């Protein structure tokens, strides 16, 4: 299987805006684009391969026959695609919500739970989000505050800015506030329990469902520090990088590339590349095919690459990338370089 770009599934939730279309090139027939599922095998919204022999297939369809090897050794005993990656445009506040862990979700929803990570792509001047409880409360107080619509008063209200990172473990109550644009890396799950939704109604005038009993079951009501640690960047030749999150479900790095970065997609895991700013290209050094699915002649590579010499790349391919592109690299893709001035989130399992 070759590396390829993905076309996202989109969601027109009532709190969304138009920034994903206008700034990230996300295509949708809906006037509102609240979420773009940039890497997804989820039945609620699957990403689609955009070019090459597999073009038009969903990511899940393409992986089905080769899932044991393209996902990598870290997923060798699973036929379940582990992660889902989104862009989220919160023009209005999202609901106050919580996600279950694996045990609860499998028992009650027959799906996996949801631990997630947020990288703030942009935020209005006075933007904020809710993240955990500012003091420990009991389940009884939690229920009472839900019933009296006063839950917000005991939550951490955290000001946010571009580049902030939040790790939201399953069971942590949270909400994205209006004026925030986020890249979210999460477990492959769409299970959400709402506890407060600002009395909003849908297009038919109905209030959206709350899930109070289940939220009471799964929410951790302990104190949570409101301000997470800032990422620590390390300078490498041609770029700088920071580890944003690492857990049993995913590992995420941010690469801020000034000229080039040489990386490897080994046999342990597939690699997701989500380009969040700038433009450039990817040169695959150890592959004989790229997103077009055909062998590229070394002379073509040499002509299209100012930096690379044909003696270095004898077989390979080049994929041009811009802000808003999402790429899937099968496990074992090997060495590749990202050249240009761009910013990318790199995720592996």
Q: Report the distance separating Cα 156 and Cα 119, nearest Å.
A: 18
Q: Report the distance separating Cα 88 and Cα 37, nearest Å.
A: 9
| 8-state DSSP, 208 | P
Task: Output the six-digit token pair for 44.
Answer: 């609620």
Q: Is 281 a catalytic residue?
A: no
pLDDT tens digits in sequence order for the chain, 349 residues long? 899 999 999 999 999 999 999 999 999 999 999 999 999 999 999 999 998 889 999 999 998 877 778 899 888 666 689 999 999 999 999 999 999 999 999 999 999 999 999 999 999 999 999 999 999 999 999 999 999 999 999 999 999 999 999 999 999 999 999 999 999 999 999 999 999 999 888 778 888 889 999 999 999 999 998 777 789 999 999 999 999 999 999 999 999 999 999 999 999 999 999 999 999 999 998 755 455 544 343 333 333 333 333 323 334 489 999 999 999 999 999 999 999 999 999 999 9
Bridge partners (DSSP) of residue 207 are 201
**Dihedral (C-alpha) 39, 80, 191, 44: value to the nearest 10 degrees?**
50
Tell me the domains of the chain and their CATH numbers.
4-218 (2.60.120.10), 234-348 (2.60.120.10)
Q: Choose among 69, 87, 86: nearest CA to 78.
A: 69
pTM (two decimals): 0.90
Catalytic residue among 194, 281, 287, 337: 194
């Amino acid at each position: 299987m070759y590396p390829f770009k993905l076309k996202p599934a989109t969601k027109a939730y009532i709190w969304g805006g138009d920034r994903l279309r206008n700034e990230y090139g996300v295509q949708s027939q809906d006037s509102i684009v609240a979420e773009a599922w940039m890497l997804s095998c989820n039945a609620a919204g699957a990403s689609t391969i955009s070019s090459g022999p597999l073009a038009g297939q969903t990511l899940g369809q393409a992986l089905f026959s080769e899932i044991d090897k393209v996902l990598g050794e870290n997923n060798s005993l699973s036929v379940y695609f582990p992660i889902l990656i989104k862009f989220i445009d919160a023009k209005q506040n999202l609901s106050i919500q919580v996600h279950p862990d694996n045990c609860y979700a499998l028992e009650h929803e027959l799906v996996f739970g949801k631990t997630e990570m947020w990288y703030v792509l942009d935020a209005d001047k006075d933007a904020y989000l809710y993240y955990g409880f500012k003091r420990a409360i009991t389940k009884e107080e939690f229920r009472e505050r839900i019933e009296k619509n006063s839950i917000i008063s005991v939550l951490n209200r955290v000001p946010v800015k571009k580049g902030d990172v939040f790790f939201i473990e399953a069971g942590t109550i949270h909400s994205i506030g209006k004026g925030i644009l986020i890249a979210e890396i999460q477990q492959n799950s769409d299970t959400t329990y709402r506890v407060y939704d600002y009395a909003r109604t849908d297009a038919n005038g109905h209030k959206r469902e709350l899930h109070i009993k289940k939220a009471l079951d799964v929410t951790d009501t302990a104190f949570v520090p409101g301000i997470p640690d800032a990422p620590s960047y390390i300078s490498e030749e041609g770029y700088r990088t920071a580890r944003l999150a690492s857990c049993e479900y995913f590992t995420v790095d941010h690469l801020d590339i000034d000229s080039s970065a040489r990386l490897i997609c080994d046999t342990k895991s597939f690699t997701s590349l989500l380009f969040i700013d700038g433009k450039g290209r990817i040169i695959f050094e150890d592959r004989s095919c790229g997103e077009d699915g055909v062998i590229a002649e070394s002379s073509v590579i040499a002509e299209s690459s100012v930096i690379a010499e044909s003696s270095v790349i004898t077989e390979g391919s080049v994929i041009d990338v811009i802000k808003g592109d999402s790429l899937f690299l099968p496990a074992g893709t090997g060495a590749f370089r990202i050249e240009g001035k761009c910013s990318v989130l790199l995720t592996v399992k």
